[in-house]
Structure 1
Amino acid sequence: MITLSFYFINSNTLVTHKTSYGEILNIKLQDGSDVTLNSNSSVSYYKNESRKLWLTGEAFFDVDKKIATNAKFWVITDDLSVEVYGTSFNVNSKKKKTDVFLEEGNIWLKLKNGTDKKMIPGNYISYSAEKNKILEDINVYNATLKTSWKNGSLIFEKLSLEKAMEKIEESYGYSIIFNDDISKNTLITGAVPTTNIDICIKAIEKSVDVTITKEENSLIISKK
């Protein structure tokens, strides 16, 4: 009786992985699936049920398909649940919404409002339970724009510096302050690292001809 009780408690232990700003963590689950956890994020699951996870932040999932049992794999956020069998996809639950990008396979989204949404490769859907609506539903033909972070870099393609710096804020935790509107609307194309803020700043300064100053927890941006 004591042995059985110990096994039950031990097998139902909640396992949580967390990352700090500027950190990326690779996780191998018990079922053979791989999870890449982005900075300032966490993922939790029960030890005996690693095919059902709760995500805060951002992660890329490469799910091992169980052909014999056809077992489902679930990712749950505050906005929705992602239901898959075996596929590769990215989930970002930051900023009071959840963004899902499907790289391979097929998945079902179960939105908090009760709606089901099927996704096919290349689909990108952003949904907010707080606003009770789909914010964006598009096809992305360059997958690296959504998944390059897992390899340690962010890739921008004609993106406004204001939008690009939102990604920097997510990765490094700095508040962003613009001293002028011209800098905000300047378009940036290129790649910056997600694990070294100093190199990241230099790359942005060189790409868009701005000056970025670090002051405590802020990055102050000015046109040169």
Structure 2
Amino acid sequence: MNDTSRIDIIETEAAAWFAKHRGSRTSEQDEAFQQWLATSAEHVSAYERCMAAWLMTDALSQDLDIMNIRQSVQASLTTNTAEHTVKYGFLKHLYTPRAIAAVSLLFLCLFIAKIALYPSAITYTTKVGEQRLIKLDDGSQVTLNTNSELKVKYSSDMRELTLVKGEVYFDVAKDRQRPFVVSIDESKVTAVGTAFNISFDPFVNSVAVDVTEGVVELTPSIDSVSLPATQLKVGEAASILDSGNTVKPKAVEFERINAWRERKIYFKNTSLSEAVADYNRYLDYEIEIRDDTLKQEKVTGIFHAGDTSSFLFTLKLALQVKTRHEDGKLILYKETI
């Protein structure tokens, strides 16, 4: 007996045991089944394949393609059974082991084909204070900043990504046959081969796009209606307002983008309220300003992400800021004279 015939026999036996386990069985049958499994690792693998194929068909029971195949197979089995009954005068088996194995294999093949045609998205995340550099299948690279979430879904004609929250730097490999499209809430950024940065805060619905190389097309949307697109060239940045309107392009802050990719935070004449909000993204606790005048003070400098000691030391020297801990927060304030 060659290997192919032996494997066919094992597969047929596995399907037969699986069919028996779908109904009632005796303790003697269970003991016989355990002995059959213990025969070899191939027996175990064959039975596991039957189980996996059946679970897949269960999961896809409402799929139109699966339903059509199920009906076609059922009709075929019913026809063959009727012919068998007429010829021999009795019904032997409605579902033979080979029929079960064949149908399971057919379902499994369709399941794999559907995955290939309609791939599911892969999700990449970072925790607070964490950063990740990820190389995608097409050679593109994405860098996730702190507390970010990105979904990636590639197909034969499209590269679709969704920024759920946070900040990501995209270095896109050129592929004119497959546009590189990043969705942020209802808006989209489309590129072919370029590099750009997107920051998205879903809680305040704030989107900022900075182009560091090439050209991208920014298409804002509101209530699922696309608004006129804006083309951004290298060195240009834009933001999308809650209204869906795009802020007029401004100059990219290359220093800020390069800084965060090196785990640093860059401030240039930035209000203290904005600086603290940026710093809080890297911390597992919150810094809060309890002085309205202090919020408007300006700060400039480069600090290591997560290193609050040097940041606070600078504030104490430059702005005479006082600190205290309260309810798990670090409070910034100025003593009134």
Q: TM-score, normalised by structure 2?
A: 0.59
Distance 2:220 2:134 in 1: 26
Distance 1:168 1:116 in 2: 32
1:9-28 C-alpha deviation (Å, 9 max, x unpaired): 37723211111111111111
**Counterpart residue type for residue 9 of structure 1:** I
- Residue 280 (structure 2) aligns with: 169
**Counterpart residue type for residue 51 of structure 1:** R
Cα gap change, 1:201 to 1:70, in 2 (>3 Å) = farther
1:44-63 C-alpha deviation (Å, 9 max, x unpaired): 12365782111022101011
| Partner SS for 1:93 | strand
Q: TM-score, normalised by structure 1?
A: 0.85
- Residue 115 (structure 1) aligns with: 228
| Partner SS for 2:111 | helix
Greater share of residues in helix: 2
Cα gap change, 1:96 to 1:147, in 2 (>3 Å) = farther
- After superposition, the CA RMSD in angstroms is 2.5
Q: Does 1:185 align with 2:296?
A: yes
Greater share of residues in strand: 1
Q: Does 1:78 align with 2:185?
A: yes
Cα gap change, 1:213 to 1:79, in 2 (>3 Å) = farther
Q: Does 1:53 align with 2:165?
A: no
Q: Does 1:96 align with 2:171?
A: no
Distance 2:323 2:192 in 1: 45
| Percent identity over paired residues | 26
1:187-219 C-alpha deviation (Å, 9 max, x unpaired): 111112224445554455455442344445423
Bigger Rg, which one: 2
Distance 2:325 2:211 in 1: 36
Distance 2:131 2:267 in 1: 19
- Residue 127 (structure 1) aligns with: 240
| Partner SS for 2:331 | strand
| Deviation (angstroms), 1:65 | 1.0
Distance 1:192 1:165 in 2: 12
User: Structure 2: any 5+ residue segments left out of the alignment?
Assistant: 1-105
Within 5 Å, which residues of 2 pair with 1:24-63? Answer: 24-46=131-153, 48=155, 51-56=159-164, 57-63=166-172
Distance 1:72 1:86 in 2: 9
Distance 2:171 2:217 in 1: 15
User: Structure 1: any 5+ residue segments left out of the alignment?
Assistant: none
| Deviation (angstroms), 1:85 | 0.4
8 Å contact from structure 1 (residues 60, 91) kept in 2: yes
Cα gap change, 1:173 to 1:79, in 2 (>3 Å) = farther
Structure showing greater relative contact order (alpha-carbon pairs closer than 8 Å, 6 or more residues apart): 1
